[in-house]
Structure formats: structure tokens, C-alpha cells
Amino acid sequence: MTDTTPETHFDRRVFSGIQPSGGLTLGNYLGAIKHFVDMQDEGGYPTIYCMVDMHAITAKFIDPDTLRRNTRELCAGFIASGIDPEKSILFNQSQVAEHAQLAWIFNCVARMGWMGRMTQWKDKAGKNAENSSLGLFAYPALMAADILVYHATHVPVGDDQKQHLELTRDIAAKFNHDYGQEFFPITEPVIRGAATRVMNLQDGTKKMSKSDPSDRTRINMTDDADTIAKKIRRAKTDPDPLPETVDGLESRPEARNLVNIYAALADTTPAAVVAEHAGAQFGAFKVALSDLAVDRLAPIATEMARLMDDQAEIDRILARGAERAREIAAPILKKTYEIVGMVGA
Ligand code: TYM
């Protein structure tokens, strides 16, 4: 039985989250979920995985039924990919009020300048900052609260979340400094594997994203075998064959992306993939990649659809996960309030 009191906060504890703002993509799977499963299966430390529904409403209005559906589908995606709700704590953010409560404290620790420098804020708000929600600006403080309310020490994410994790470290360090206590851990990002940044299938210089208007740019975790094969076949490439070494992928972003995806799906390295397929034309390589992708992904889509047939069971899993999450978060929030000087904590 893991001791969940705040005193254990520098033990290894893993937390990560995904927004239910749309369907799951291959980027989410290879950059994040696959590593969540590996860390869970490694065992020996708690793994806590969250559907961050409060983050999902920061960017644009989401119809409530869509948000509910996305959250349940994301839960099905986690489980179908190998997250075991008995081994890991699996829940949606809004069911554990401690996230929002700690986020308020962090809103008072984080500086406007820090938030304004966040690339994702600049990308998403763009020239329309005046019209963006306050929640979008404060987003990274809630993210820091998600992590630190569990005293999580390790956070597996894709490359695009690196800056938010640096901010999480800055918030923890400033809190610890201001209040003169080493209370929050300085979290380590875990960004590993061949696909830390899966790129758009039609433009290798852009990230694969669930929000791109064109479905051809991504593989969704709900795509069936034919759709996966078709999207890979139509993915943009250049006319040259696969090079002899990974150096030959330099300035060939689309080619490099397909090699990285292959390596991540096969649990190997880009160097090994290039060595095996050196000299092959992309037509042939795409056939091999699409066979591999269908083999790994189609069973996940099938299992997701099966799980989605029993929503009551999904809701029960999320409620149980939230209860377990609260057992860890509540004492850490209470201690935070005490440190801050809130009477009655
Ligand atoms: P989100 O929902 O955009 O993405 C979830 C995870 O998937 C990774 N990812 C990718 N990895 C590789 N290639 C891609 N194309 C790709 N697209 C997405 C992301 O890096 C992420 O790991 N802010 C977070 C959610 C969050 C969170 C947290 C994460 C909220 N609180 C606390 C960790 C800890 C986000 O928007 O992820």
C-alpha cells in the first residue's frame, strides 16, 4: 500500500494528462499514452492519468454533449491502449476539485510575464489575445496544479509540452522560495522515444494535431484499417528513396516523420529502421508502415468502440479513479493552505 501523505512527496510518482478537446491522434498515442502504459507496467510507483476536461474548455466553446462524449472516449482510449484502471489512477480532472483550488494559489505565484511567454498561448491566442479567455492565459498554472497537487515527480509528455513543464518547475521553485519550504518537488519531464513530435501527414513542418481542419493530416485512434492505410498511402513524401543513414533524412521532414512513426510503432530506433529499409522507395516503405500501423492501431480502435458501448462502466471507472486521486490530493492541498496561511486548513 502506498503511503499518500505529503511527507512522501519526493518519492517517484508519475502524473500526466490529455485534453478531451477532440479525438485522440497517433501523436497523442506515440508521444504520450504509449509511455504512460510503459511506466504503469514498469510498476513500483504510482501512475496517475487524467482527462483534463477543465483545460478542454479554455480554447473555444465546446458543446456539453461533445465534451462528455470526448471525455468518455478518451477514457476508452486510455484503457484500450493498455492503461489498467486498477494499476493506474484514471479519472477526469473536474471530479477532483483540488486541481482548481491549487490552481488559484498558483495563479498568485505565477507572473503575467511568464504566462505571456508561453508559445502555446501565443499560437492559440495569436493576434486575438483581447478576445481569448482568461482561462487560456492561466492554462499553464492549472497544468502545474494538476501535477503538483500529487507531488508528482515525473511527467511523460510529447515535446510540445516541454515549456509548460519548465513553467511548472518555476512555479514550484517560487512557491518553495516565497514560503521558505521545500514543499513542492521540481518535476522532471519525461520526453522519450522516436516520436516525441509526430508531424502532420501533409506538411512535415507542422505538428500532427486533433484541431487541424483536415482529417487527412492525422491518424485518429478511431480510424479503421482502410482509413489508416489510405492516409499513409496519401501522406506527403519526396521523390528520393530511403537514405542509408538517419543523417540522410536531414531537411526531408515528411520522410523523417514516417521513419520516426515506424520506429515508435515497432519499438525500435530511426537508425534501425533506416538500416533495414535503406534504398527502398517510399511507395514500398509506406506499405510496410501501413501494415505495421494497422497491426498496432486497429485493435485499439475496435476495443475503444466496444468500451464505448458501456458508458455506465466508463463513468464508474472515472468516479472510482477520482476517489483514489482525491485521497492523494486532499492532504497535499490542506498542507498547501496551511503553508499559505489559510485559517481552518
Ligand atoms: P494535449 O491534450 O494537447 O496532448 C496530450 C499529450 O499528447 C502529446 N502530443 C503529441 N506528442 C507527439 N506528437 C504529437 N503530434 C503530439 N500531439 C500531442 C502531448 O505532448 C501531450 O503529452 N497541456 C496538455 C495537457 C495537460 C497536461 C497536464 C499534461 C494538462 N495538464 C499535466 C501533463 C501534465 C495538453 O494540452 O496536451
Average pLDDT, the chain: 95
Of 60, 162, 210, 334, which one is the catalytic site residue?
210
Q: Are strands 203-207 and 199-200 parallel, antiparallel or unpaired?
A: antiparallel
Q: What is the pLDDT of residues 141-195, one digit of tens each?
A: 999 999 999 999 999 999 999 999 999 999 999 999 999 999 999 999 999 999 9
Query: Ligand 1 within 6 A of 125 CB?
Result: no
CA of 315 to the centre of ligand 1 (A): 23
- Residues 326/98, Cβ–Cβ less than 8 Å: yes
Q: What is the pLDDT of residues 258-305, one digit of tens each?
A: 999 999 999 999 999 999 999 999 999 999 999 999 999 999 999 999
230 is catalytic: no
What average pLDDT score do residues 315-332 get?
A: 98
CA 276 to CA 257: how far, in whole Å?
A: 16
| Closest C-alpha residue for ligand 1 atom 37 | 18
| Closest C-alpha residue for ligand 1 atom 36 | 19
CA of 280 to the centre of ligand 1 (A): 33
Q: Which three cell numbers stand for residue 267?
A: 519499438
CA of 296 to the centre of ligand 1 (A): 21
Q: Given a cut of 80, is residue 5 above it in pLDDT?
A: no
210 is catalytic: yes
Q: What is the pLDDT of residues 67-88, one digit of tens each?
A: 999 999 999 999 999 999 999 9
Q: pLDDT-derived band of residue 10, with 50, 70 and 90 as boundaries?
A: low
Q: Tell me how crowded residue 193 is: count the other CB atoms within 10 A of its CB.
A: 18
Q: What is the dihedral of CA 99, 104, 105, 107, to 10 degrees?
A: 120
CA of 157 to the centre of ligand 1 (A): 6
Q: Given a cut of 70, is residue 345 above it in pLDDT?
A: yes
162 is catalytic: no
CA 187 to CA 333: how far, in whole Å?
A: 17
CA 111 to CA 118: how far, in whole Å?
A: 12
Q: pLDDT-derived band of residue 2, with 50, 70 and 90 as boundaries?
A: very low
Instruction: Provide the percentage of residues in the chain whose pLDDT is more than 90.
Output: 94
Q: For position 126, what pLDDT does the model report? A: 85
Q: Which three cell numbers stand for residue 152?
A: 508528482
Secondary structure class of 150 (helix, strand, coil): coil
What average pLDDT score do residues 29-55 get?
A: 97
Q: Quote the radius of gyration of the chain (alpha carbons, Å).
A: 21
CA 264 to CA 273: how far, in whole Å?
A: 10
Query: Ligand 1 within 6 A of 198 CB?
Result: yes
Q: What is the pLDDT of residues 202-244, one digit of tens each?
A: 999 999 999 899 999 999 999 999 999 999 999 999 999 999 9
Q: E strands along the chain, which residues? A: 14-18, 47-51, 89-92, 154-156, 188-190, 199-200, 203-207
Q: pLDDT-derived band of residue 3, with 50, 70 and 90 as boundaries?
A: very low
Q: What is the DSSP letter of 246?
A: G
Pick from 94, 146, 149, 100: which is nearest to 334 by CA? 149
| Closest C-alpha residue for ligand 1 atom 26 | 17
Pick from 182, 167, 187, 159: which is nearest to 12 by CA? 187
Residue type, 15: F
Give whole-number Cα distances, 18 to 190, 325, 326, in Å. Answer: 15, 16, 19
Q: Which three cell numbers stand for residue 76?
A: 476508452
